[in-house]
Amino acid sequence: MRTFTHLNLFPAGLGCRVGPVAFTKSPDLVPSGSCAAVAPLQPQAYLGLTFNWGALLGWAAIKGSLDPSIVLPLYAFGVFWTLVYDTIYAHQDKEDDLKVGVKSTALRFGDLTKQWITGFGFACLGNLALSGFNAELGI
């Protein structure tokens, strides 16, 4: 029988107990994702919050704990990066989003999308740099 001594129980508890939004269970975020398309929260933001939860789980799987000064900026980096790429992608579906009532960031930002994406890009780089600095990775 094979044992997995390199794994620990901390990420399992993290994945099943506390999620990023209002202390919900993280698995609750995934099935509710289809509702995010018509919720007040833009689906791109919801995707970022849900998809990037894996950064916390990955860190916990390797380290066996969470260092908020490292993982929170890493998580924020992922959320902002999701906002960048999924807002660009959402522009392809603007007409359909209007028809079905999806509240996408492409519709919300409109002509200011480039400025928003630029801001999200700077937030990505800043959070990634902060996470690396806090982890003492150096240059």
Domain boundaries along the sequence of the chain = 10-134
pLDDT tens string 37-77: 445 568 888 889 888 988 888 888 888 888 999 999 999 99
3-state secondary structure 62-110: HHCCCCHHHHHHHHHHHHHHHHHHHHHHHHHHHHHHHHHCCCCHHHHHH
Q: Are 19 and 28 in contact (CB under 8 A)?
A: yes
pTM of the model: 0.74
Number of residues in the chain: 139
For residues 7 and 120, what is the distance between their CA atoms, to the nearest angstrom? 34
Pick the more confident residue, 9 or 81: 81
